[in-house]
Amino acid sequence: MSGFGNIRAQLKAFLVEIGELSYFTARFFNNVFKPPFELKELWRQCYNMGNRSLVLVGITGFIIGLVLTLQTRPTLMEFGAVSWMPSMVGISIVREIGPIITALVCAGRIGSGIGAELGSMRVTEQIDAMEVSGTNPFKYLVVTRALAVTLMLPLLVVVGDAIALFGSFLVESVKGNVSFVLYFNKVFDSLEFGDIVPATIKSFFFGLAIGLVGCFKGYYCKKGTAGVGKAANSAVVFSSLLLFIIDFMAVLVTDIFYGL
């Protein structure tokens, strides 16, 4: 009975948190279009989250391109279809692997950073001081950060995809003696409008989810300094789970749309 009660309490806490996050999201959209607009802070956050994540995203994308090509090439060689390698890698990376892996990397790097930063501001009462001084901390801290992640993630996905394709080309260049022009001509010939647009659109939703969850966990951080680490950790876990849900819904909607 105690085990059942524990499960019920955890489920209730989870549903309460979902409701609070929904209210937090509605509050974000209510504030994002209202002046004043903190453009200077938004630009600073875009630089912090975009430029400082570039190296990590690039390294991750490069390794993905290498590994995906090295793992897939032997199988395609068995069926005599190694010439399809650029098309297969291009479609896989642009459609799915690039956006979701980049988003997961950013969830770990950006989401945890936002959760820890806002959490430390909450426990040291800096947010309370901003409220007392008449400043709108939600607009200055939350709206700018969530918008910055939303705007920067699609750009990081583009960079990550390009570097991943370059990594795949290096393997093909060494293993199959394929030229740069031939490889990327095959990649772009295989890509269609329906491959690029849905992947780009869902990248914006990935960024919004990472930004909102990170801000939510940090903004309502509790239990002193110990809560800062918990806020950073739960921001990564919760946003990663949300990314997979959004990705599934995006694929489902795309499949239904193109099936009409």
Contact 190, 91 (CB under 8 A): yes
Which residue is listed with tokens 């001509």? 185
Q: Report yes or no on whether pTM surpasses 0.75.
A: yes
**Per-residue model confidence (pLDDT) at position 154:** 95
CA distances from 79 to 75, 85, 175, 191 (A): 7, 12, 17, 23
User: Going by C-beta distance under 8 Å and a sequence separation of 6 or more, which residues neighbour residue 241?
Assistant: none
Q: Which letter does DSSP use for residue 34 in this model? A: S
User: Going by C-beta distance under 8 Å and a sequence separation of 6 or more, which residues neighbour residue 2?
Assistant: none
Provide φ and ψ at 37, rounded to 5°: -100, 125
**Per-residue model confidence (pLDDT) at position 1:** 47
Rounded Cα gap, residues 108 and 149, in angstroms: 13
Contact 96, 162 (CB under 8 A): no
Amino acid at 19: G
With left for phi above 0 and alpha for psi between -120 and 50, is residue 224 left, alpha or beta?
left
**Per-residue model confidence (pLDDT) at position 260:** 54
Contact 109, 53 (CB under 8 A): yes
Which residue is listed with tokens 């279009």? 33
Which residue is listed with tokens 């291009």? 90
Q: Is 30 helix (H, G, I), strand (E, B) or coil?
A: helix
Per-residue pLDDT of the chain (260 residues; tens, 9 = 90+): 466 777 888 888 888 888 999 999 999 999 888 888 888 999 999 998 888 889 999 999 999 999 999 998 888 888 888 888 889 999 999 999 999 999 999 999 999 999 999 999 888 888 888 888 877 889 989 999 999 999 999 999 999 999 999 999 999 988 888 889 999 999 999 888 888 888 999 999 999 999 999 999 999 888 777 788 888 888 999 999 999 999 999 989 888 876 55
Rounded Cα gap, residues 210 and 150, in angstroms: 8
Number of C-beta neighbours around residue 6 at 10 A: 10
Contact 247, 100 (CB under 8 A): yes
Which residue is listed with tokens 């030229």? 179
Q: What's the distance, CA 235 to chain centroid?
A: 12
**Per-residue model confidence (pLDDT) at position 179:** 87
